[in-house]
Amino acid sequence: MINGPCYTGALELALSCSFLIASDRARFADTHAAIGLAAGWGMSALLPRAVGTRLARRMMLTGEPIDARRALAAGLVTEVVPHDCLLDVAREIAGLIRAAHPGAVTETLALLAEGENTSLAHALTLESRAKLRRPAHGSSGRGR
């Protein structure tokens, strides 16, 4: 959840999250260059992957913030909600994830991480291998 300014180090941390939900008051910026520093916690690798190289360059070189709507359009956040609804929406999403099968959640996150920035063929191979490791009737644990 991002409910206000998410600048520099906070943005670097946010970029490591599985997904981001922003309030309509959220703003995102990288001010490293503006204060004479270079990124050190993954900004130069993660921001271009999240928003594209050109917008990442602009953000990193100028320190200009982008608002939540632009962050949504660029793919940095998955949803923008009214500020007063942010916590409720985040709790609702967390509840949906908690209701899912924990093993499947873990496996899905691992597949997404391992398959990111690889070829389609490699990502599909990873998924096929994961399927072979599953029990035939994988009904243990929580589920719907």
CB atoms within 10 A of CB 30: 26
pLDDT of residue 119: 86
pLDDT in tens, 122-144: 888 888 888 877 765 555 555 54
AA identity, residue 66 = I
Angle at 8 between CA 21 and CA 20, to 5 degrees: 10
pTM of the full structure: 0.82
Mean pLDDT of 57-77: 97
Query: Contact at 8 Å (CB) between 15 and 50?
Result: yes
8 Å CB contact between 47 and 8: no
Query: How does residue 77 score in pLDDT terms, banded at 50, 70 and 90?
Result: very high
pLDDT of residue 20: 97
